Amino acid sequence: MSQPTPSAVTLGEGLAVLIARPGPLEDSPAFDRGAGGAEANVATVLTQLGVPTSWISRVGDDGFGRYLVGHLARRGVDTAGVIVDPIRPTGLYVKERGSGSDGPHDLAAGASRMLYYRTDSAASALSPADLDASTRLLEKSALIHTSGITTALSPSATALVDALLALPRRDRLISFDLNFRPALWARRTELSDDSTIGDILARHIQGSDVAFLGADEAEAVFGVGEAGALRAMFPQPSHLVIKNDKHSVTGFLRDPRHGDRRLEVAALRLEVTERIGAGDAFAGGYLAALLQGRSHEQLLRFGHLCAAAALTGTGDIAELPSLPVLESLSAATAEEWAGLRYGAHRPVSENVAS
């Protein structure tokens, strides 16, 4: 009998999403409702891949908070670690979508822009005390995931991530996605310069077992974007994953027997519908495969496959193919992988009509 997959915890802000009709925002007569937030997105990917997952966060005592908690709970995420803040509101963002008109305030067709309203949100009050309140969830988990968005929310949220990294590991993995958001850091009035931001984010990468970095955001924060140079800068994580924009991902894995291993896996061919949530889906796919004991190459391929589902879908939360389909695709030969393209409904071989 196979062993059950270890459980995971994600920690960070969830957001209610208001999605405008295509065209200038001021002309949108109505908005669709959705849910987002980096760690919430990762949680939903993990649950879809059979990993029992809990989400630790704070929401306001309002309709958006109740919607967000219910949205995740319906997708199998354990929300027992969510605290309802009686004073602060649930964070939200508005997604503006382009229609390609000639209007001066319109975006290109298919393009989108995010307008965040999260200052003084409930999640900005996250602090080390939230770890104490969720001790049971943390102690039974095999992996805890958070991101640079969480640490950027407030000084108390930075202290939370520092406290998380200081916890005894006890065979538990800590995962950190850089997710650099300059606008969030710009509101941190206690920070004097960009080097301080870099120091905080570098400290969190160095203290993690698994770290995800976009090459472009690493260049913006650390002045380094090349994968090998980033590995030299951050040798501490056992798993260091560098996302080279749309072209490929480079994964470093420290092997006790064979030293540091480097592997690059190309992204799948696809037509992008929307880029929002793709990085979170990649992280969720990689982490699920890691907890399921898959090979290094399969970790990266699972990440690509889940990111492809986000890129070809709509909404922040990726709707994935079934686990057997992902397992089959991740086991493809190098030639088969190179010939795959990911459609809106299913991945197919390049020489098979969709």
What integer pLDDT is reported at residue 3 of this predicted model? 61
CB 299 within 8 A of CB 287: no
Confidence (pLDDT) at 317: 66
pLDDT, one tens digit per residue, over 229-265 is 999 999 999 999 999 876 899 999 998 787 899 999 9
Instruction: Name residues of the chain where pLDDT drops below 70.
Output: 1-4, 192-195, 246, 274, 314-317, 344-354
Backbone angles phi, psi at 333, to 5 degrees: -70, 165
For residue 250, count other CB atoms closer than 10 A to its CB. Answer: 21
CB 38 within 8 A of CB 12: yes
Question: What per-residue confidence (pLDDT) applies to 259?
Answer: 83
Q: Residue 32: helix, strand or coil by DSSP? A: strand
**What is the per-residue pLDDT for 110?**
76
Sign of the Cα pseudo-torsion (176, 178, 180, 185, in order): positive
Phi, psi of 187 (to 5 degrees): -85, -5
Catalytic residues: 280
Residue labelled with tokens 């602090």: 127
Alpha helices by DSSP H, listed for the chain, are 38-48, 63-74, 128-133, 135-140, 148-152, 155-166, 182-186, 194-206, 215-222, 227-233, 278-291, 296-311, 323-330, 334-338
User: What are the structure tokens assigned to 254, written together?
Assistant: 């420290």
